[in-house]
Structure 1
């Protein structure tokens, strides 16, 4: 594997598991100094311990003060930031802890607020810290985790769908605003990924077969499938890709 991120600093939020952990491993394998950032401090520390030159950071992206602490640490430790994958997020299922998804007019306000705080506000909080560091470093590449639901919608997923549409808008705005200062910003839109976040859905007798039928490739994505695409967007190989989204959905939107 090429070492195209040699000596570069790469931040991955939600980096301790699933897509984030796969991205941390791929950035590291290609030479990056990786910051494994996650709410789960012990899992982040464990993964960082497996990667050369990596460090962990306990962060809740929904909390602006927590993000400010993380970026202060990054500045003190490295003095630069070259790549960022804003991957951390939750779903309604996460908040409701397995309870049935209510219709939108019955959705508790705290569920709406928690999903938007993590999935949309969290990206904004991270951008506020990433952009100054990249400006000082002479540029960089940001990849935001959107979703299939940044383009499509499903019933009873109003908070997640709204948040991911917002992430796509943020991505395009940053791309236009900072592109002339050598900062690229793109989004990746995963389809249905076999991660702990989706376990209840993809293992459900009610949904599994219907979901698989909707995917032309006939399988769910692995975390590595999505991580490879995200890392490519952050690399110099995608050096003229800015303000775009990459659909890694097995062909669902086709």
Structure 2
């Protein structure tokens, strides 16, 4: 009697042997995404402000992952090129997650130039230069995944966050434009639009009882999102499971946009 053995299969979400770069991984969504990628098997390059990535790095090392920390202020555009060259000198990058970002809540009539410029410098222009620096090598190699963190404000206008909404609309535009241009070269470019997440960016909203309740009342799942909720989407878009997903902005919002 012959015993049939089931063939070995590899999960399409398996990231072992791949390297993922995550910007702004020191806390919040970035930390959650980095840990999700590490749990899926990816080695990490954590990019962010000096002294901000060590806790995340230590957690990933405990999972047995190789981790490298690169100090970079994403608003320092002249430093982005050399940082990308340094990252790529150590080996190819399979996944780039553009997470670094800030938000300023100010009445539009009072927004100073310094606030407007810093939000766009980090959330949009810095994101573009990092994507260009890392993405160039992906295009040349013929494979790669780029995942940028957009927002519900890539679809909506928000209140008192004019610079943030503008930047996140731009992130959606970059995502679609690069999907068109780089898709033929084997590079998938997508974005995640998180809903209302329990992170530092939403502290002011969560501390306002009326605003917080109004937000919860619109979310069908009845709770704020967590970094772990976004991590799963990032693993999917960074994995072979998403090889035919390109130019998409994936909403992770507990159903907010469905209301």
TM-score, normalised via structure 2 length: 0.90
2:88–2:134 contact (8 Å) kept in structure 1 = no
Q: Which residue of 1 aligns with 2:34?
A: 24
Say whether residues 1:249 and 2:216 are aligned partners: no
Unaligned 5+ runs, structure 1 = 94-100
Bigger Cα displacement from structure 2, 25-34 vs 242-251: 25-34
Say whether residues 1:81 and 2:85 are aligned partners: no
1:35–1:55 contact (8 Å) kept in structure 2 = yes
- Inter-partner Cα distance in structure 1 for 2:33 and 2:159: 30
Find the partner of 1:34 among 30, 34, 44. Answer: 44
Q: CA deviation at 1:206?
A: 3.4
Say whether residues 1:61 and 2:65 are aligned partners: no
Cα RMSD after superposing both structures: 1.5
Matches within 5 A, 1:33-182: 33-39=43-49, 41-51=50-60, 52-78=65-91, 80-93=92-105, 101-102=106-107, 104-182=108-186
Q: CA deviation at 1:43?
A: 2.8
1:7–1:31 contact (8 Å) kept in structure 2 = yes
- Inter-partner Cα distance in structure 2 for 1:137 and 1:53: 22
- Inter-partner Cα distance in structure 2 for 1:155 and 1:194: 18
- Inter-partner Cα distance in structure 2 for 1:228 and 1:27: 9
Q: Which residue of 1 aligns with 2:17?
A: 7
Q: How many residues align?
A: 244
1:61–1:125 contact (8 Å) kept in structure 2 = no
1:71–1:129 contact (8 Å) kept in structure 2 = yes
TM-score, normalised via structure 1 length: 0.91
- Inter-partner Cα distance in structure 1 for 2:218 and 2:126: 30
